[in-house]
Amino acid sequence: QQSTFILCLNATINLNLMLKRINQPLSYVKT
């Protein structure tokens, strides 16, 4: 169970980083 939990945690962290990278250029273009 621990290994799957760590995998899910890493996946969520990667998703958050990707969303931040996508949102940064968009907000930069808006301003």
pLDDT tens per residue, range 1-31? 789 999 999 999 999 999 888 877 776 666 6
- CA Rg, the chain, in Å? 14
Q: What is the pLDDT of residue 6?
A: 95
For the stretch 3-31, what's the b/e string if a residue is b when 16 or more beta carbons lie within 10 angstroms of its beta carbon?
Answer: eeeeeeeeeeeeeeeeeeeeeeeeeeeee
What is the pTM assigned to this prediction?
Answer: 0.60
